[in-house]
Amino acid sequence: MTVVLVLAVFLVFALADFILSRGKSPRLAVEKPVTALEPAVVDGFTVSENVRYHAGHAWCAQERKHVARVGVDQFAAALLGSVEKVSLPRPGQWIRQGQKAWAFSRNGEKVEMVSPVEGEVVEVNTEIAKNPALLREDPYGRGWMLKVHVPDEENTSRNLLPKSLISNWMRTAVEALYARQPQLAGATAADGGVPVNDVAAALPKTEWSKVAGEFFLTR
């Protein structure tokens, strides 16, 4: 129910943004290279000005024309926590925007995430397969997951969060997480408000895949 409320709030914001920005054609990403991230912090979670976000907590950034780099945001990385295995699509595989594209395993459970883009996978980050901790340590940098050839960048962009709504979207997601699992508020308030690396450690074992799947839009 809380995730439904998050999506409802997002739709209201998105409608307002559409009315204010009619006639403008958003790009898949900004002009700056993906390595030049400009992070901000919203309720303890880092967001970046230089990537585009999907409502399922994945991000994408244009690496070059028709090629996007894809990863998970810090909120997702904290919920994933100490995953033991990352299952990535194969190079050459076609993935669809908003559909399940990769998965994470932990303590015998699995949670899937949806892709923020549609296109052909051209490269995967083999380093995160060897060291899944990179997702938590550097989700916008070394923890990237895929590079995807995106033939229709304009259509892909329409289904991503408007940049002006990202802060409100993240804040609403964090509030929904705390409302659903109040014990997590203390876990993510550690170290001066910066979330701990493994928020999921505060969840009962049987709750991890359920809670994460709801926020990742796969349950």
Q: What is the mean pLDDT of residues 52-67?
A: 97
Instruction: Read off the pTM.
Output: 0.80
pLDDT value at residue 40 = 86
Q: What is the mean pLDDT of residues 57-70?
A: 97
Which residue from 120, 100, 6, 93 is spatially nearest to 58, judged by alpha carbons? 100
Query: How much helix, strand and coil, in percent to the nearest 5, is found in the chain?
Result: 35, 25, 40
Q: What is the pLDDT of residues 9-21, one digit of tens each?
A: 444 444 444 444 4
Q: Does domain 2-215 have CATH number 3.40.50.300?
A: no
Q: CA angle at residue 181 from 134 to 12, to 5 degrees?
A: 85
* Burial class, 22, CB count within 10 angstroms (exposed 0-12 / middle 13-18 / buried 19+): exposed
Across the chain, how many H-helices and E-strands are there? 8, 11
Helices marked H in the chain: 2-20, 74-80, 126-130, 134-137, 153-158, 166-180, 183-188, 208-215
Which residue from 67, 70, 66 is spatially nearest to 57, judged by alpha carbons? 70
pLDDT value at residue 195 = 58
Residue 177 phi, psi (nearest 5)? -65, -45
CA distances from 92 to 103, 120, 123 (A): 18, 6, 8
Domain range annotation of the chain: 2-215
In this structure, which amino acid lies at residue 29? A
pLDDT value at residue 31 = 39
Chain Cα centroid distance, residue 157:
15
